A = this chain, B = another copy of it.
Amino acid sequence: MQSRLEQLKSILQETYDLEATVYLLNWDKATKMPSGGSDARARQIALLSRLEHEKFTSDEVGRLLEDLTPYADNLGYDHDDAGLIRATKILYDQRRRVPSDFVEEMQAHFAKSFSVWATARPKNDFATVQPYLERNLDLSRQYAEYFAPYDHIADGLLRQRNYGLTTEQVRALFAELRSELVKLLTKITEAEPVDDSFLYGDFPKAKQYDFVKKAITAFGYDWERGRMDDAHHPFATRFSIGDVRITTRASETHLGNGLFATMHEAGHAMYEQGINQAYEPSPLARGTSSGVHESQSRLWENRVGRGKAFWQHFYSELQATFPQLEAVPLDNFYKAINRVKPGLIRVDADEVTYNLHIMLRSDLSIELLDGSLAVKDLPDAWRARYESDLGIIPEDDKDGVMQDVHWYSFHIGGTFEGYSIGNILGAQYYDALLAQHPNIEDDYTQGDFSRLHTWLKDNIWTHGRKYTTRELTQRITGDDISVTPLVNYLNAKFGDIYNL
Chain B residues lying within 8 Å of A33, measured Cβ to Cβ, are 243
Question: Which of chain A's residues 1-24 have a Cβ closer than 8 Å to chain B?
Answer: 13-14, 17-18, 20-21, 24
B17 touches A44 (CB 8 A): yes
B34 touches A224 (CB 8 A): yes
Chain B residues lying within 8 Å of A376, measured Cβ to Cβ, are none
Contacting residue for A47 out of B14, B240, B243, B245, CB 8 A: B14
Instruction: Check A243/B41 contact, CB under 8 A, given A32-B227, A34-B227.
Output: yes
Q: Does A48 belong to the interface (CB within 8 Å)?
A: yes
Q: How large is the interface on A (under 10, 10 to 19, 20 to 34, 35 or more residues)?
A: 35 or more
Alpha-carbon gap, A21 to B27, bound state (A): 13
B43 touches A281 (CB 8 A): yes
Question: Which of chain A's residues 118-150 have a Cβ closer than 8 Å to chain B?
Answer: none
Prevailing SS type, chain A contact patch? helix
Q: Does A168 belong to the interface (CB within 8 Å)?
A: no
Chain B residues lying within 8 Å of A44, measured Cβ to Cβ, are 17, 20-21, 24, 239
* Per-position 1/0 for A27-57, Cβ under 8 A of B: 0100011111111110110011001000000
A325 → chain B closest CB, angstroms: 30
Minimum CB distance partner of A46 in chain B: B17
Q: Does A242 belong to the interface (CB within 8 Å)?
A: yes
Interface centre among A17, A25, A36, A241 (most CB of B within 10 A): A36
B36 touches A225 (CB 8 A): yes
B17 touches A224 (CB 8 A): no
A36 touches B281 (CB 8 A): no
B51 touches A242 (CB 8 A): no
Chain B residues lying within 8 Å of A243, measured Cβ to Cβ, are 33-34, 36-37, 40-41
Residues of A within 8 A of B (CB): 13-14, 17-18, 20-21, 24-25, 28, 32-41, 43-44, 47-48, 51, 222-227, 229, 239-243, 245, 280-281
Q: Would you mind naming 9 contact pairs between A and B with Cβ atoms under 8 Å apart? A: A17-B44, A34-B245, A36-B225, A36-B243, A37-B225, A39-B242, A40-B242, A41-B240, A44-B239
**12 additional contacts, CB 8 Å, given A32-B227, A36-B240, A39-B242?**
A17-B44, A21-B44, A24-B44, A34-B225, A35-B224, A36-B222, A36-B224, A36-B243, A37-B239, A39-B240, A40-B241, A40-B243
